[in-house]
C-alpha cells in the first residue's frame, strides 16, 4: 500500500531533523570548514550523501537550516522554562499574551538567566553555531553568516521588555536599542568566553549580568531588584 502524502511529509520532516542534528554534531566536533556531506552521513548513520542532497540543495542551505534550528530550540527552551521561571516567555510572544502579572524586570531577569542556562545545557549546539559564525564572518553576502531578521526579532523582544519597564516607571529613560544590543551581545559572546574560561561558573555569570543590567536600567529611587 503506497504511503499517504501525510506519511511522506512526516517521513521527510523526520529525515531533515536527523540530518540537521547530525550536522550540528559534526560541526561541533570538526568545525565548519572540515564538515562535509560525507562526514555528516557517517555521523548520522545515513546510507548515502544523496539523502542529504535530496533535502538540501547544498551546504549553505543546510547551514541556514542549522542556524534556524538552533535559534528555534532557544525559543522552545525559554517557553518551557516558564514552568520553573514563570516570567520567562518565548521570543516574539508579546507581553501580556497570555496575561502575566510579572514586571519588566522579572522578564528581563528571566531572559538573561534563560539564555545562559540554554548555553550551559546545550554546549554542542552552541559550539556548532559559534563555528558557523566564526567561519563565515568574513564571507560578505553569505546568508548563513548573519541572520538579520532573527537578530532584529531578538533585539525587538528585549526592547519590548525595556519599553514596558520605562512606561511602568521601573526603568529610567535610555535608548532601548543601545541597551538591548549591549545585553544581547554579552549573551552572544558567552560561547566564545567559555573557550577562554572553560571553568566559568555560568549561573554566577548570569547573576552578574542580571545585577549589571538592573543597575543600568533601574529608575532613580527604585529599590534594587
Q: Is 189 within a domain?
A: yes
Report the candidate in 204, 202, 186 with the shortest Cα–Cα distance to residue 194. Answer: 202
Q: Is 225 within a domain?
A: no
Q: Is 224 within a domain?
A: no
CB count in 10 Å sphere of residue 1: 3
pLDDT tens figures, 72-97: 999 999 999 988 888 998 887 655 55
Q: Is 106 within a domain?
A: yes
- Which of these three, 33, 56, 79, is where a domain ends? 56
Please indicate, yes or no, whether residues 95 and 26 belong to a single structural domain of this protein.
no
Please indicate, yes or no, whether residues 28 and 137 belong to a single structural domain of this protein.
no
Q: What is the mean pLDDT of residues 178-184?
A: 97
Confidence (pLDDT) at 185: 92
Q: Is 92 within a domain?
A: yes
pLDDT band for 143, please (50, 70, 90 cuts).
low
Return the CA Rg of the chain. Answer: 20
Confidence (pLDDT) at 105: 95
Please indicate, yes or no, whether residues 97 and 120 belong to a single structural domain of this protein.
yes
pLDDT tens figures, 112-134: 999 999 999 999 999 998 888 88
Please indicate, yes or no, whether residues 49 and 73 belong to a single structural domain of this protein.
no
Specify whether the CB–CB gap between 72 and 153 falls below 8 A: no
d(CA 97, CA 114): 19
Q: What is the DSSP string of 43-99?
A: HHT-S-THHHHHH-SSHHHHHHHHHHHHHHHHHHHHHHGGGTSTT---TTPPTTSS-
Please indicate, yes or no, whether residues 78 and 37 belong to a single structural domain of this protein.
no
Between 37 and 221, whose confidence is greater?
Answer: 37
> Which pTM value belongs to this model?
0.83
Contacts of the segment 79-85: beta carbons below 8 A, 24+ positions apart = 81/110, 81/114, 81/117, 85/110, 85/113, 85/114
Please indicate, yes or no, whether residues 39 and 85 belong to a single structural domain of this protein.
no
Please indicate, yes or no, whether residues 16 and 122 belong to a single structural domain of this protein.
no
Q: What is the mean pLDDT of residues 150-178?
A: 93
d(CA 7, CA 159): 42
Query: Looking at residue 25, which CATH number applies to its domain?
Result: 1.10.10.60
Q: How far is CA 179 from the centre of its chain?
A: 19
Query: Looking at residue 162, which CATH number applies to its domain?
Result: 1.10.357.10
Please indicate, yes or no, whether residues 73 and 142 belong to a single structural domain of this protein.
yes
Q: Domain range spanning residue 192? A: 66-217
The tally of domains found in the chain comes to 2
Please indicate, yes or no, whether residues 44 and 123 belong to a single structural domain of this protein.
no
Q: Is 61 within a domain?
A: no
Amino acid at each position: 500500500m503506497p504511503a499517504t502524502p501525510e506519511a511522506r511529509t512526516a517521513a521527510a520532516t523526520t529525515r531533515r531533523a536527523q540530518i540537521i542534528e547530525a550536522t550540528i554534531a559534526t560541526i561541533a566536533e570538526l568545525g565548519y570548514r572540515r564538515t562535509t556531506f560525507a562526514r555528516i552521513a557517517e555521523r548520522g548513520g545515513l546510507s548515502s550523501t544523496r539523502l542529504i542532497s535530496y533535502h538540501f540543495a547544498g551546504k549553505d542551505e543546510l547551514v541556514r537550516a542549522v542556524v534556524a534550528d538552533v535559534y528555534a530550540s532557544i525559543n522552545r527552551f525559554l517557553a518551557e522554562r516558564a514552568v520553573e521561571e514563570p516570567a520567562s516567555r518565548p521570543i516574539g510572544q508579546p507581553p501580556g499574551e497570555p496575561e502575566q502579572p510579572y514586571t519588566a524586570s522579572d522578564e528581563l531577569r528571566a531572559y538573561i538567566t534563560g539564555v545562559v542556562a540554554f548555553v550551559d545545557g546545550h554546549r554542542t549546539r552552541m559550539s556548532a553555531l559559534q563555528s558557523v559564525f566564526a567561519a563565515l564572518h568574513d564571507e560578505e553576502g553569505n546568508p548563513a553568516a548573519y541572520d538579520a531578521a532573527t537578530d532584529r526579532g531578538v533585539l525587538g523582544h528585549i526592547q519590548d521588555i525595556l519599553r514596558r519597564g520605562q512606561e511602568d516607571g521601573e526603568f529610567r529613560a535610555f535608548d532601548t536599542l543601545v541597551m538591548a544590543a549591549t545585553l544581547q551581545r554579552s549573551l552572544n559572546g558567552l560561547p566564545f568566553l567559555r573557550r577562554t574560561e572553560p571553568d566559568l561558573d555560568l549561573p554566577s555569570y548570569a547573576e552578574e549580568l542580571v545585577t549589571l543590567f538592573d543597575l543600568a536600567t533601574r529608575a532613580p529611587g527604585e529599590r534594587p531588584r
